Amino acid sequence: MRQATLDEIGKLAADARDALYTAARSKNLDAPKIILHWTAGWYGNMYGDYHISIAKDGATMIATDDFAEVLSHTWRRNTGSIGIALCCCAFADTKSLGDAPPTQAQIETMAQVIAKLADALWLTIDKKHVLTHGEAADSEDGVYTYTENDCYGPKNDCERWDLEYLETDESPSFNPYATDGSRGGDVLRGKANWYRQQWIEEAKKYDGKE
């Protein structure tokens, strides 16, 4: 596990792009997936199951330099996907995220990481390509890697519900059927799209200037 900058993360993703697309297509997917997690541990706990882990202060740590490497972050969805995890949420439940909820630094950094990866992998930042573990567990992207009746996310038995809510003003509580943009995945994708647009505007502003 080592620290990496956002720009380095983008470069590593670009380097792995061809291999990730080949792997995704071997599973009848049109493109790679970015799957968002929490570790369900304390802020200092990091695990090698995720390509990228985000510390309490927003520092980004990587478990491998090869983002096409298959790591065990999501059941039956590891091939052709990149797993990102916030190091937080020990003993979280649907009523409270406990003593180690996601920090604002973690949330903003995850959004920035999503934007960097999506740019490098030529992905639209939407639920089809970027989804939380909870959304993946309920097959909300329309991909069933198991039987349609065997979903295991927050809309079913809640076995996996990572980032369903963030315990912030934007995403205050557990509500997997919310349509107002307050679910954790909606907030993170919205922020990622905002950062992506900001970077596009900055690039245009400074294009051709020293």
Identify the pLDDT of residue 209: 54
Q: Residue 202 — pLDDT band, cuts 50, 70, 90? A: confident
Tokens 């557990």 correspond to 174
Side-by-side strand order, sheet with 33-38: 2-3, 60-62, 52-54, 81-86, 33-38, 130-132
Alpha carbons within 13 A on the beta-carbon side of 48: 6
Split at pLDDT 50, 70, 90, the class of 194 is: very high
pLDDT digits (tens, 9 = 90+) for 132-158: 999 999 999 988 876 666 788 899 988
Do 148 and 139 touch, CB atoms closer than 8 A?
A: yes
Contacts of 203 (CB under 8 A, 6+ apart): none
Give the mean model confidence (pLDDT) for residues 93-114. 97
131: which 2 tokens?
């989804």
Q: Are 72 and 49 in contact (CB under 8 A)?
A: yes
Residue 206 has pLDDT above 90, yes or no: no
Rg over CA atoms, the chain: 16
**How high is the mean pLDDT of the chain?**
94
List of residues 6+ apart from 9 with CB closer than 8 A: 52, 60, 62, 113, 116, 117
What percent of the chain is modeled with pLDDT above 90?
85
Minimal CA–CA distance to 65: which of 51, 46, 49, 86?
51
Domains and CATH numbers, the chain: 2-206 (3.40.80)
> What's the pLDDT at 148?
64
Least confident of 38-42, 60-64, 100-104, 140-144: 140-144
In this prediction, residue 201 carries a pLDDT of 86
> Torsions phi, psi of 133, nearest 5?
-60, -40
User: Which of 41, 8, 33, 187 shows the shortest CA–CA distance to 110?
Assistant: 187
For residue range 65-74, list pLDDT tens digits in order. Answer: 999 999 999 9
**Helix or strand (DSSP H, E) at 201:** helix 184-206
